[in-house]
Amino acid sequence: MGGGIIVVGSINLDMVVLSPVIPGPGESICAGDFQMVPGGKGANQAVAASRLGNHTFLLGRVGVDHFGDILIQNLESCGVETSLVRRTESAKTGVALIVIEGETGDNTIVVAPGANSEVSVEDLDSLDPYFRQAHSILFQFEIPVEVISEGAKRARDNGVVTILDAGPPRGVDITYCRDFDVVSPNRSELAALTGQPVSDIETALRSARVITGEGVPTVAVKMGETGSLLVTREGAWHFPAYAVKAVDGTAAGDAFTAALATALGEGMELPRAMRFANAAGALAVTVFGAQPSMPTRAQVEELMESQKSEEESWKRID
């Protein structure tokens, strides 16, 4: 079970406020609890990969500050190998400002990337000995795109499966997807990447086809309560969501992507891999905060077992 996964990506401290509503432009709201929680898409995916049974290596950067200390300590306590996490003098540790809507668990996130912006192509040189230990490598768009592109090329040259969690894609050219074996956006990320509106399964399928049209073999679209969509050159399939009580949607997509990488690395068949990823994403929604909500392998398997009827309900849509 499990294997080696490399994650190259962001490490943030999340400043989270639980609010009755998400304020609109110009609006102030005085209500809600505040918490600081370890986050960052890269770090979240590394924690998820580790909890799902992989030997996990994270490459990223934090500042020489207290937040950086907290985040590295937490990663280590979650079993993530942090020797590739560098401390950078010239920028502070990344921070994300998050508002969670109490009733629905929906969120808005603004990231001050800080040290994450300093992850460089040169940093990738330290990956060479790690490629031999990994079946897959995960990237997201919270570090400079040239690092993502070059890192994916090097991984492919070393026979490692390249996976892109396409968040947040603001201003990113879709051609950056070409270096990846698997691209996994959520609905808004898919819309931003393709320039097409995405609201339902039909529009998601149409937009995912734009990404496969770029030469990406597999696109896995995260659709929240609508489940997920698998689109390959051979066809397209819809996988319904597991039924859970939503508390906080933060990092659900990170759990999904890490679980998909885990499943593919273990050679699970694609339908089971998608259900495994769906279950991990669903569980992440049930717990407040990013890294605290990343599920263990046992929790994922238990949810899959407890909602077994879901197993039969995925279907081919194209």
Residue in 239, 264, 219 with CA at minimum distance from that of residue 314:
239
Which part of the chain contacts ligand RIB (CB under 6 A), choosing from 39-47, 153-161, 197-205, 206-214? 39-47
Length of the chain: 318
Binds ligand RIB (CB under 6 A): choice among 72, 111, 261, 277: 111
Nearer to ligand RIB, 53 or 113 (CB): 113
CB of 117 to ligand RIB, least distance (A): 13
Of the candidate residues 221, 251, 280, 294, the single one contacting ligand RIB (CB under 6 A): 251
Tokens of 312: 């039969």
The whole-angstrom separation of Cα 126 and Cα 241 is 39
Residue 161 as a binder of ligand RIB (CB under 6 A): the answer is no
Helix ranges restricted to H, the chain: 41-51, 66-77, 128-131, 145-157, 187-194, 201-212, 252-265, 270-285, 297-306
> Binding-site residue total for ligand RIB (CB under 6 A)?
16
- Judged by beta carbon, residue 109 or residue 260, the one nearer ligand RIB is 109
Distance of alpha carbon 109 from alpha carbon 97, whole angstroms = 6
Tell me the residue type at 198: V
- What is d(CA 243, CA 47) in angstroms, rounded to the nearest whole number? 23
Q: Is residue 254 annotated as part of the catalytic site, yes or no?
A: yes
Residue 81: DSSP 8-state: B
Contact between 250 and ligand RIB per CB under 6 A: yes
Contact 10, 113 (CB under 8 A): yes
Q: In the complex with ligand RIB, which residue's Cβ is closer, 63 or 253? A: 253
Query: 107-112 and 136-139 as β-strands: parallel, antiparallel, unpaired?
Result: unpaired
By CB under 6 A, name the one of 3, 5, 18, 41 that touches ligand RIB: 41
Applying CB under 6 A, among 4, 6, 7, 12 the residue interacting with ligand RIB is 12
d(CA 188, CA 170): 10
| CB closer to ligand RIB, 80 vs 236 | 80
CA separation for the pair 50, 56 (Å, rounded)? 6
Looking at the Cβ atoms of 4 and 94, the one nearer to ligand RIB is 94
184 is a site residue for ligand RIB (CB under 6 A): no
Q: Which residue carries 């959520």 as its tokens?
A: 186
Q: How far is the CB of 206 from ligand RIB (least distance, A)?
A: 25
Segment near ligand RIB (CB under 6 A); pick from 6-14, 71-79, 155-163, 304-312: 6-14
Q: Provide, rounded to whole angstroms, the least separation between the CB of residue 128 and ligand RIB.
A: 27
Least Å distance, CB 314 to ligand RIB, is 25
Please, what is the minimum distance in Å from the beta carbon of residue 182 to ligand RIB? Answer: 17
Q: Which residues are catalytic?
A: 254
